[in-house]
Structure 1
Amino acid sequence: MVSLKAILPLIFIIAILIFEERVSIPSCKTISRNGVNEEGGVGFDSEGDLRVMLVADMLLMGSEASYMSLYFRDAYLTKFFKKSFERLKPDMLVVLGDVSAKGSKLTNSKWLSVLQQFQKILGPWIALPFHIGLGDRDIGECNKLNEKYVNWICSKLPGLDSTGCSSFEVSNISFVSINAVAMLCENNDLHFSVEKFIERESFDLRSYSKDAKKRKNEPEDLGEINTNFGWRENTVSSGSGPVLLLHFPLHQTTSNNCEGSTVLKRALNSSPRENSDNRRVSGAGPYKLLHTVPPNVSEYIFQALKPRIIFSAHTHEFCDHTHMDGTREVTVPAMTWDARDDPGFVFATFGRSRTVTVSQCSLVRESHVIMFYISFFVILTFTMLIANRSELISSRR
């Protein structure tokens, strides 16, 4: 008869595999427009809808990653992506910046190692259409922004122009991705280049609206110059524009009750000296989480693009906010244990009738996983000691 001591290692391995399989499955809940959780989780919508998985702040370290990241956190991150793709079946993946923990400090070869790490984590799902935007971790803050370096990084990411912006269309859904880092930097060449990109997109939006009105025999109105801000007044109705993707949240003039609102409220109400967060990410130093796009720039973006919905990141927390003009902005949480104990992502479904269904997906806490391993090891050790003691007593008999 096989002894308990002999089969304990097998039991241990099976238990670990079952645990890892189950905790890798995301828990998703659909968020209604007013921020109330809806029962039933993420449902499969009608055929032809566009399903997009949005993640942010992966904070990869590439060749500088620690053993803890490479053999524990990255291993689980790979499982998270695998289970999410299998269960949710997205048509597209969007990364809203900070794919690197400290990309602005890396050499070209080390930056490439970050992208290789990203590809390894996605595995076979790298064939899925994806878009990566730029965050402040990727290219640096204003005082360290190097246009040549930004251009080089953009050349390595799919679809980005030399400014870090992009516009594309998937299943008749238009997306505009903006380099929000540059929009925080005044009197910077990259800032002006991004403004030109936005103006071109705004012109295309007005031209499309004009063509649509011609087809309906409605009067044309391409807008007028707004002397207060200096950009062309866009008379296209709010929500008629593209899906807007950017790293920093836009300025919020109204309060909200969603998770993540505390960070944004402190950003609006506290002094610059207070605007810091001592959380450390992969040894990369303090991470300032309280940046938002300045009020005048936010208003400029609203006026120029009339976004259908906005997806932003940076705060590491989920937030569902409605701006004064009715535009919905969803802030995507960080998808890494390097940033927070309970990572997550957002899943959005774009319907044919211009409806957008947003689901918040949560992943297992790192502390729970570590506690499981510690508890299981203690139990295994205790059981082995009992088994050894029982064998010793039996042999004496």
Structure 2
Amino acid sequence: MAWRPVMGLILIFALVIYEEWVSIPSCKLVPTSSTDLELDLDHPDDLKVMLVANLLLLGSESPFFNSNFRDYYLSKFFRKSFESLKPDMLLVLGDVSAKGSELTRSKWVSVLHQFHGLLGPFIGLPYHVILGDRDIGECSELNVRSVNWMASNFPGLDSAGCGAFEISNISFVSLNAVALLCGNNNLRFGVEKVVERESVDLQIETEGAAEVMNKASKLRETEHNFGWKENSISSGSGPVLLLHFPLYQTVDSNCSGFNAFKRTLKHSRESSNMLGSRRLVETGPYKLSQTLPRNATEYIFQALKPRIVFSAHTHEFCDQLHSDGTREVSVPAMTWNARDDPGFVVATFHRNRRAVSVSYCSLARESHVIIAYVSFVVLFLSTIPLLRYLRIL
């Protein structure tokens, strides 16, 4: 029986090692036909961005299991991802809160504290957060003052919940996609003003100020008439676009042309069938299949000519090309509150300012971690004599 105390110590040590190992993400480069990926992926001038979505935090309302297990591992996921990938920036594509639109400001503050606690080493990096439907609610509940207050708590967001910034010569624009679903309201007008402003700036940068002076003048004259504006800039010349809702699917919604990589993610598709059994995601302000309307999508394409689009909301990873050649990547949920196999995306913007490589990073399945813990407990219980041994010492 002398081996049992030693076995107990070995199990404790093994559990610590397992917790560290299981928190490390597994990342795979998404295949693409682009020859841009033949470039050196590790050049020091490249910009590496980690994109996460749908954290679904509960703040002070977190049940015991969430706060002592799921949130604990989510924090480890952030820390290990930072250590292993060494990103230059973090982007959060909405749904920071599981039910933020229902919370009072004091409860929202607890969600913000939880969010900042999860960031860990990321707190020293540039980061940008956009608002999702769970954060600000559906159209009938959309409140300008509440959105303004929420936006003021995240860096770089204006009063409409939009943002524009540049890092390492890469331009980013984030839009409040929820407002774009909601007809004629002040928030939507604010979003469209941002789109028009960025469109004019893009044309000035590309064509020169003299050639777009007339367009800018017309824009001022029709400030409240958000009609179609002519934009002759080629597709892909604009900023990186960040949204919570995906754009309207102008091609096969099942990620056409992406079957080879989808097979490696088959378990992700299968586990998505579990969503209906999750209390936090079985219902919500919008269906998981919700996308921006066709007219809003065409408007964005025409005005911004985005270089690449990153969206979220669906909880699943997807990579597809739209009809004009614009690439859209949907970022999966990074929480066990949404799915058994969470994940995130890493985008590398290469030094030639055109190529973008995308990696899908998977995290540990909750079911596997729970099975591992149960196994450790069962094995440890067989070493109960360890306690007597320690008392003797």
TM-score (norm 1): 0.84
Q: Which protein has greater RCO, CA pairs closer than 8 Å, 6+ apart? A: 2
**Is contact 2:195–2:303 with CA below 8 Å preserved after alignment?**
yes
Query: Partner amino acid for 2:365?
Result: R
**Matched ranges for 1:258-277 at <5 A:** 258=258
Aligned twin of 1:266: none
Q: Secondary structure at the match of 2:361?
A: strand
**Matched ranges for 1:90-239 at <5 A:** 90-211=87-208, 230-239=227-236
In 1, Cα distance between the equivalents of 2:205 and 2:383?
72
Aligned twin of 2:14: 15
Query: Among residues 249, 252, 275, which one is paired with 1:252 in the alignment?
Result: 249
Superposed displacement of residue 279, structure 1: 4.7
Q: Describe the superposition over 1:20-54 as per-residue Cα deviations: whole angstroms up to 9, x where unpaired.
A: 1111111001112359xx99xxx852121111000
Aligned twin of 1:349: 348
Superposed displacement of residue 281, structure 1: 4.5
Aligned twin of 1:322: 321
Superposed displacement of residue 176, structure 1: 0.1
Cα RMSD of the aligned pairs, angstroms, is 2.7
Show structure 2 runs of 5+ residues with no match. 219-225, 263-274
**Is contact 2:90–2:122 with CA below 8 Å preserved after alignment?**
no
Aligned twin of 1:264: none
Aligned twin of 1:335: 334
Aligned twin of 2:270: none
Query: Partner amino acid for 1:189?
Result: N
Query: Partner amino acid for 2:350?
Result: G
**Is contact 1:206–1:222 with CA below 8 Å preserved after alignment?**
no
In 2, Cα distance between the equivalents of 1:161 and 1:240?
24
Aligned twin of 2:271: none
In 2, Cα distance between the equivalents of 1:130 and 1:281?
29
Aligned twin of 1:269: none
Shift in CA distance, 330/104, structure 1 to aligned 2, threshold 3 Å: same
In 1, Cα distance between the equivalents of 2:234 and 2:121?
41
In 2, Cα distance between the equivalents of 1:285 and 1:30?
31
**Matched ranges for 1:262-301 at <5 A:** 278-282=276-280, 286-287=283-284, 288-301=287-300
Show structure 1 runs of 5+ residues with no match. 262-276, 392-397
Tell me, yes or no, if structure 1 residue 57 matches structure 2 residue 54: yes
Query: Partner amino acid for 1:197?
Result: V
Aligned twin of 2:371: 371
In 2, Cα distance between the equivalents of 1:128 and 1:115?
17
In 2, Cα distance between the equivalents of 1:20 and 1:222?
61
**Is contact 1:142–1:182 with CA below 8 Å preserved after alignment?**
yes
**Is contact 2:247–2:292 with CA below 8 Å preserved after alignment?**
yes
In 1, Cα distance between the equivalents of 2:334 and 2:186?
32
Q: Describe the superposition over 1:145-201 as per-residue Cα deviations: whole angstroms up to 9, x where unpaired.
A: 111100010111111000000000001100000000000000211111111111111
Q: Describe the superposition over 1:282-336 as per-residue Cα deviations: whole angstroms up to 9, x where unpaired.
A: 4x76142111000000000000000000000000000001000000000000000
How many percent of aligned residue pairs carry the same amino acid?
60
Query: Partner amino acid for 1:193?
Result: G
Shift in CA distance, 253/308, structure 1 to aligned 2, threshold 3 Å: same
Higher Cα radius of gyration: 1
Superposed displacement of residue 15, structure 1: 1.1
**Is contact 2:49–2:348 with CA below 8 Å preserved after alignment?**
yes
Query: Partner amino acid for 1:15?
Result: A
Q: Secondary structure at the match of 2:315?
A: coil
TM-score (norm 2): 0.85
